[in-house]
Amino acid sequence: MGGYGMKGFFGKLLRINLTTRSYIVEEIPEEILKTYLGGKGLGSYLLLENVRTGIDPLSEDNKLIFVAGPATGTGMWGSSRYGVYSKSPQTGLYGESYSGGKVAPLMRKTGYDAIILEGAADVPLSLEISDCKVEFRNANHLWGKDTFETEDRVLEEVGVPEAQAIVIGPAGENLVRFACIENNYWRSAGRTGMGAVMGSKKVKAIVFHGQAQAEVADPELLKDLIKSLTAKAKGNVGVKAYQTYGTTQMVKTMNCAETFPTKYWSKGIYENWKELSGDTLLAEHEVKPNACPTCFLACGKLTTVSKGIYSGLKVEGPEYETIYAFGGLCCIGDLAEILHLNDLCDRLGMDTITAGNLVAFTMEAVLRGKVEANLSYGDALGVADLLVDIAKVRGLGVILSQGIKPAAKVWDLEDIAIHVKGLEPSGYDPRVLKGMGLAYATSTRGACHLRATFYKAELSGMIDPAITQGKAEMFIDFENRLTLFNAQILCVFYRDMILWPELRQLVKALTGWDYTQPELEEIANRIVTLTKVFNLREGATREQDTLPKRMFREPLNEGRDVITVEELDFMLDEYYKLRGWDSQGRPPVILY
Ligand code: SF4
């Protein structure tokens, strides 16, 4: 039962101090949950409230905040996800990341709406968090182990059959700025370096279990929604595509649209893309569905490599983003090689999007004579060696482990480096998909495709990718809806099934709060604004809401596709205005 008889929430926050190895439970006022709706709203609110301006993200002053949403563990489709929030060591700004797999329901069963880690331990620790207690265990023997072994051993040590764990690998321990948090071997809270923050606090793993259950306000209404979504999915072509290919379906789509970033963002089509496609994956390797609990889309594909030197290697993936980053950007036209690199990143605990971008950037640096290394486009073995060097912070990995901005500065290649606010984009080129340009530029966590998944609108004919008129308005509609997905927390791949009416129904069923669509839009605007305020407080300005210079200077696809500074400015002006911010992107105080 939630505090104050609240439905959908526990009304409780667990605050763990790692320095003193102590913890306290605090109440979360109902008003805060009504205002921010949990998940991303609650995580961002707590981040703003608890992290002082100007702190070093890898110091003990930073906080690491975990949140499972009000939808988690209720049986709602696509609800097996947790969010993690912190000041990002990769961008120095607002950091957030989400992961699927089996952890979120167990995180929720501990009985807290949010868990804050603060301070830092003096020796490596693993934590066991349940609805009864928090245990601090020495994890010296796990330090240096990869994520798979760590997960196995830490679960064995806790010995509770239903428990689930999140872990970091060597990259997180070594404070690689784009280290991620992993669970269930292959699921990652991948972006913005949350694994490095966990490493800086010397927390190697956290195990969750418990029996707590937040009361659902209207179980019948929730049941109706689940049933109607099940019916909607029957015979749906989009659902079938996810079930068959997962995100690998995007390899074909993006190459046909000439927006598959290739050879470090110099081309929009990869000539060997068919070798990387979903059809090739299914034809040449053994592929089985591996869905998160309560999911009928089942985008996760457990692949066993069927031939060659990696025969027998088992990986959940590769995701489209990993294929684009290692396949397209590094010109590696072999899925088995990409699966091997995927496996390495998972075990080391590194984000594949940033890793692929950094390696391709290094290939370009070598070509331009800025760096001496035996590495060229297509060299999969060279990539594997460099990934290990990055995780171990040795050789070229010393500078690359700091992220793209420091590496570009040291190598005098700032003009060619592709990133926004220090975070590399995913596999959608904004010279073709101009709305993705707006998405990358305005995203408070750096170039992000998931905040609105606006590529969907541009690729499916909802709006012409080449125009800028009216784009900000449609983009905000997408961003608002998906911000509320992250407030519940739902998988964004359900975006075509859960529209505004279904979202309203879900919030009402879970919490009893009968918000109108405009009221929900206002809450989403408030959440987006919170994340913006975090960045403004850190000194961010309109100048950072931009795209890499090459997007403006280098047309793509034989000169056909480019985005101009004026086009981005036009969309940016509209976006700020519709959000209620001033021309510099500054919100009035009343919005948050
Ligand atoms: S679509 Fe994929 S990521 Fe989303 S809930 Fe299902 S299996 Fe998990």
pLDDT digits (tens, 9 = 90+) for 452-472: 999 999 999 999 999 999 999
315-369 pLDDT, tens digit per residue, is: 999 999 999 999 999 999 999 999 999 999 999 999 999 999 999 999 999 999 9
pLDDT at 2: 46
**Cβ(493) to ligand 1 under 6 A?**
yes
pLDDT in tens, 263-274: 999 999 999 999
Ligand 1 binding pocket mutation candidate from 299, 301, 486, 496 (most atoms within 8 A of CB)? 299
Residue 298 Cβ inside 6 Å of ligand 1? The answer reads: yes
What is the arithmetic mean of pLDDT over 113-142? 98
**Based on the number of CB atoms within 10 Å of its own CB, is 51 exposed (0-12), middle (13-18) or buried (19 or more)?**
buried
- Contact 39/489 with Cβ under 8 angstroms? yes
Using DSSP's 3-state secondary structure scheme, residue 189 falls into strand
Spatial contact of 442 and 575, defined as CB atoms under 8 Å apart: yes
State the pLDDT at residue 312: 98
Query: pLDDT-derived band of residue 4, with 50, 70 and 90 as boundaries?
Result: low
Does residue 101 have its Cβ closer than 6 Å to ligand 1? no
Across 161-168, average pLDDT: 98
Within a 10 A sphere around the Cβ of 552, how many other Cβ atoms?
19
Match 């998906």 to its residue by tokens.
482
pLDDT score at 589:
76
Averaged pLDDT, 237-246: 96
Query: What is the atom index within ligand 1 of the atom nearest the CA of 78?
Result: 5
For ligand 1, the distance from its centroid to the CA atom of residue 243, given in whole angstroms, is: 10
CA distances from 279 to 185, 251, 286, 312 (A): 25, 10, 12, 20
* Percent of the chain scoring above 70 in pLDDT: 99
Any ligand 1 atom below 6 A from CB of 360: no
| Ligand 1 site-directed mutation target among 491, 492, 494, 498, most atoms within 8 Å of CB | 491
pLDDT at 1 (0 to 100): 42
Q: Which of 275, 553, 248 is nearest to 427 (CA)?
A: 248
Q: Among the atoms of ligand 1, which is closest to the Cα of residue 291? A: 7
Q: How many whole angstroms from 526 Cα to the centroid of ligand 1?
A: 27
Does the C-beta of 68 come closer than 6 Å to ligand 1?
no
Higher pLDDT, 307 or 383: 383
CA gap 179, 190 in Å, rounded: 7
What is the C-alpha separation between 352 and 356, in angstroms, rounded? Answer: 6
Say how many C-beta atoms besides its own lie within 10 A of residue 195's C-beta: 34
CA of 84 to the centre of ligand 1 (A): 17
Report CA-CA distances (Å) from 23 to 17, 20, 136: 6, 9, 10
- The amino acid occupying position 474 is M
256-303 pLDDT tens trace: 999 999 999 999 999 999 999 999 999 999 999 999 999 999 999 999
Condensed to tens digits (0 to 9), the pLDDT of residues 391-400 reads: 999 999 999 9
Contact 354, 403 (CB under 8 A): yes
| Ligand 1 site, residue 491, Cβ cutoff 6 A | yes
Centre of ligand 1 from the C-alpha of residue 490, in Å: 9
CB of 297 sitting under 6 A from ligand 1: yes
pLDDT band for 591, please (50, 70, 90 cuts): low
CA of 239 to the centre of ligand 1 (A): 11
Q: Which pLDDT belongs to residue 590?
A: 63
Mention every residue, 6+ apart, whose C-beta is less than 8 A from residue 343: 313, 315
Burial of 63 (0-12, 13-18, 19+ CB in 10 A): buried
How far apart CA 16 and CA 20 sit, in angstroms, is 9
Write the residue with the smallest CA distance to atom 3 of ligand 1: 100
Tokens of 41: 């709203």
Span 504-514, average pLDDT: 98
CATH topology (fold) of 237-410: 1.10.569
Q: What is the pLDDT of residue 501?
A: 98
Alpha-helical runs (H) found in 300-419: 320-322, 335-348, 352-367, 380-392, 397-400, 404-410
Question: Could you tell me the sign of the dihedral formed by the alpha carbons of 19, 25, 29, 32, in that order?
Answer: positive
Q: Is the peptide bond before 489 cis (omega within 30 degrees of 0)?
A: yes
Beta carbon of 291 within 6 Å of any ligand 1 atom? yes
Helix or strand holding residue 26 (H, E): strand 22-27
**What does the pLDDT read at residue 559?**
86
Nearest atom of ligand 1 to the alpha carbon of 101: 8
At 117, is the pLDDT very low, low, confident or very high (cuts 50, 70, 90)? very high
Phi, psi for 556 (deg, rounded to 5): -105, 160
Whether the per-residue pLDDT at 161 is higher than 50: the answer is yes
Quote the ligand 1 centre to 300 CA distance (angstroms).
6
Boundaries of every domain in the chain? 3-208, 237-410, 434-496+515-591
**Residue 410 CB-half CA count within 13 A:** 14
Nearest CA to ligand 1 atom 8: 292
pLDDT at 553: 96
Q: Report, at the CATH architecture level, how domain 3-208 is classified.
A: 4-Layer Sandwich (3.60)
What CA–CA distance (Å, rounded) separates 372 from 168? 31
Ligand 1: nearest atom to the Cα of 79: 5
d(CA 232, CA 132): 40
Fold designation for 434-496+515-591: 1.10.599
3-state secondary structure of 423: strand
Atom of ligand 1 at shortest distance to CA of 81?
5
Using pLDDT thresholds of 50, 70 and 90, give the confidence band for residue 5. Answer: confident
Mean confidence (pLDDT) of the chain: 97
